[in-house]
């Protein structure tokens, strides 16, 4: 089977990107990061990509005429890099219809909650904490035209502790995210994922 070429989209610290890079370096994930795209100049994820020696493109939305043009440029770069799978690893923008259409079935996202709870928006951990749930977690899912509603690949539960703050809870969720995202990529690469309607069959 051919080695999976990944395009990783990042907006922030990039710890999920690091988990992917580390798993590849350890020989635990048969893939290569063909391109990292970041949409914030100051994001630490850029340093992580550079340190690992993988190509990184910094594409800032306000430098484009429109959101559509920005995402068109990102999609063009991903296609030029011949990526097999697009991995949103802490990406903070909602995709245009056109962008999703170009990668349907080969774009996944990590979300810091147990979907469909706390979907939509950038504050899923805070929302879970404010709601008072006793268990939250993380979800890896395919991206479709409906925000945070694509077929679920993997989920992991994380208990909410009485003294949790947004930071402590996010940190424990992140540990699980790192493992889950790598596992989802591995499953995708081994062609063990089949989308059946809104469900993903693993096997
Ligand atoms: C993760 O919690 C992810 O679920 C959310 O953004 C965060 C990114 O963290 N979408 P990092 O940049 O990978 O450290």
Which residue out of 9, 15, 20, 48 has the highest number of ligand 1 atoms within 8 Å of its CB and is therefore the one to mutate? Answer: 15
Answer yes or no: do 128 and 66 share one domain. Answer: no
Answer yes or no: do 116 and 156 share one domain. Answer: yes
Q: Is 141 in the pocket of ligand 1 (CB under 6 A)?
A: no
For residue 98, how far is its CA from the centre of ligand 1 (angstroms)? 24
What's the pLDDT score for residue 202? 93
Q: Which of 59, 82, 103 is the last residue of a domain?
A: 103
Question: pLDDT (tens digit, 9 = 90+) per residue, 163-172?
Answer: 999 999 999 9
Answer yes or no: do 99 and 115 share one domain. Answer: no
For residue 112, how far is its CA from the centre of ligand 1 (angstroms)? 7
Rounded to whole angstroms, the Cα distance separating 180 from 185 reads 9
What's the pLDDT score for residue 13? 97
Question: pLDDT (tens digit, 9 = 90+) per residue, 88-133?
Answer: 999 999 999 999 999 999 999 999 999 999 998 889 999 999 999 9
pLDDT over 90, % of the chain: 96
**Residue 203's pLDDT band (boundaries 50, 70, 90)?**
confident
Q: Which of 103, 135, 155 is the last residue of a domain?
A: 103
* Domain membership of residue 25 as a residue range: 1-103
Give me the number of domains the chain comprises: 2
Q: Which of 103, 122, 152 is the last residue of a domain?
A: 103
CATH code: domain of residue 168: 3.40.50.170
Q: Please tell me whether the overall predicted TM-score, pTM, comes out greater than 0.85 for this model.
A: yes
Answer yes or no: do 51 and 118 share one domain. Answer: no
Which residue out of 11, 43, 90 has the highest number of ligand 1 atoms within 8 Å of its CB and is therefore the one to mutate? Answer: 90
Nearest CA to ligand 1 atom 3: 90
Answer yes or no: do 189 and 142 share one domain. Answer: yes
Q: At what angle do helices 44-52 and 15-25 cross, to 10 degrees?
A: 10
Please list the active-site residues.
111
């Amino acid at each position: 089977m051919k080695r999976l070429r990944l395009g990783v989209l990042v907006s922030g610290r990039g710890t999920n990107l690091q988990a992917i890079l580390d798993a590849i370096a350890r020989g635990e994930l048969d893939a290569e990061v063909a391109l990292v795209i970041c949409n914030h100049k100051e994001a630490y994820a850029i340093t992580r990509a550079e340190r690992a020696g993988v190509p990184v493109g910094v594409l800032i939305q306000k430098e484009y005429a429109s959101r559509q043009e920005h995402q068109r440029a990102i999609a063009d770069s991903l296609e030029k890099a011949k990526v097999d799978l697009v991995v949103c690893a802490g990406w903070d923008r909602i995709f245009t219809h056109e962008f999703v259409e170009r990668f349907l079935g080969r774009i996944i996202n990590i979300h810091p909650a147990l979907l469909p709870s706390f979907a939509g928006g950038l504050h899923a951990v805070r929302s879970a904490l404010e709601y008072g749930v006793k268990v939250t977690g993380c979800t890896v899912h395919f991206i479709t035209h409906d925000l945070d509603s694509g077929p679920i690949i993997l989920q992991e539960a994380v208990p909410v502790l009485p003294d949790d703050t947004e930071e402590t809870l996010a940190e424990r969720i992140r540990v699980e995210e790192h493992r889950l995202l790598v596992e989802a990529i591995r499953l995708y690469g081994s062609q063990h994922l089949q989308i059946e309607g809104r469900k993903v069959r693993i096997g």
